[in-house]
């Protein structure tokens, strides 16, 4: 597998590095760092390309999942799946010291919101709690905010559970997700949820996954399996899909 960068529509992707193992969630940070999870740990690479560097080593029987940087750029959150126990947990770690703390015994796929909350998945429910990104501490008990949210299945590779929830949230407060029906029927419709809590179906049903919202909340990048396993961009305002990648082979996990 390869990690690629594409700046805008209809521009050929640039190969950044060769991946030693399949991606299990990734994020492209403002400082030019791309974080990603994989078997054995959490890795990073520059968006200019170069050698992969291991940030957190988890061992051959554990998997790092969907890392995302926290405000200040000194720490990040990620999920850890342990194959022997089938347990997935939400953790936070500091870049400088490697100090790691467990935030939730059954949480995964977290995102920090401008409101000061950490949103994360617990099975098929999205939870939220006020969070100190510098002390790496949840400041209250998490509460459910959206139910019936899909998570990706990877067969027996991870015990039928990947720890990648099918949602994305923008800096403007828009949230999109796939319903949990994606676990069984595959052809799904994107649903957008505004700050006021109103849900709105978007586009036609497709076999799709790996949603990522633009910072403005106006466009969604996603992996569409119906059309040669490529990355497409859906414009929420115009209701239009635009194909982003065209090369042979599977293109997935946009960030």
Question: In which residue ranges of the chain is pLDDT below 50?
Answer: 1, 5-9, 153-160, 182-187, 191-193, 197-201
How far apart, in Å, do the first and last CA atoms of the chain sit? Answer: 16
Residues sharing a CB contact under 8 Å with residue 204, sequence separation 6 or more, in sequence order: 189
The pLDDT score that the predictor gives to residue 207 is: 59
Domain ranges of the chain: 1-145, 166-255
Measured CA to CA in angstroms, residue 8 lies from 4, 12, 208, 231, 244 at distances of 13, 9, 20, 12, 8
Q: Residue 54: in which H helix or E strand, if any?
A: strand 53-57
**Rounded Cα gap, residues 173 and 214, in angstroms:** 11
CB-CB contact of 189 with 202 (8 Å) = yes
Q: Per residue in 130-165, pLDDT tens?
A: 999 999 999 999 999 988 887 764 434 444 455 678
State the pLDDT at residue 104: 94
pTM: 0.69
pLDDT digits (tens, 9 = 90+) for 48-70: 878 888 899 998 888 899 899 99
The correct CATH number of 1-145 out of 3.30.465.10, 3.20.20.70, 2.120.10.30, 3.40.605.10 is 2.120.10.30
- How far is the CA of 88 from the CAs of 60, 108, 131, 143, in angstroms? 15, 7, 20, 19
């Amino acid at each position: 597998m390869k990690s690629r960068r594409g700046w805008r529509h209809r521009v050929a992707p640039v190969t950044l590095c060769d991946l030693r193992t399949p991606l299990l969630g990734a994020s492209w940070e403002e400082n030019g760092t791309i974080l990603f999870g994989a078997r054995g740990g959490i890795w990073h690479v520059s968006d200019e390309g170069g050698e992969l560097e291991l940030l957190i080593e988890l061992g051959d029987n554990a998997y790092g999942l969907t890392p995302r940087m926290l405000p200040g750029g000194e720490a990040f959150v990620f999920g850890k799946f342990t194959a022997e126990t089938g347990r997935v947990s939400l953790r936070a770690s500091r870049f400088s010291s490697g100090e790691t703390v467990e935030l939730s015994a059954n949480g995964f796929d977290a995102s920090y919101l401008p409101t000061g909350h950490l949103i994360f998945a617990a099975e098929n429910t999205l939870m939220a709690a006020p969070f100190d990104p510098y002390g790496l501490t949840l400041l209250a008990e998490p509460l459910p905010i959206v139910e019936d949210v899909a998570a990706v299945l990877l067969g027996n590779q991870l015990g039928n559970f990947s720890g990648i929830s099918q949602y994305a949230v923008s800096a403007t407060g828009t949230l999109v997700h796939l319903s949990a029906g994606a676990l069984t029927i595959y052809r799904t419709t994107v649903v957008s949820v505004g700050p006021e809590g109103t849900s709105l179906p978007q586009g036609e049903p497709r076999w799709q996954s790996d949603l990522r919202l633009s910072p403005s909340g106006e466009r969604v990048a996603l992996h569409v399996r119906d059309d040669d396993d490529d990355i497409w961009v859906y414009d929420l305002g115009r209701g239009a899909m635009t194909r982003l990648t065209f090369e042979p082979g599977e293109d997935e996990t946009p960030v």
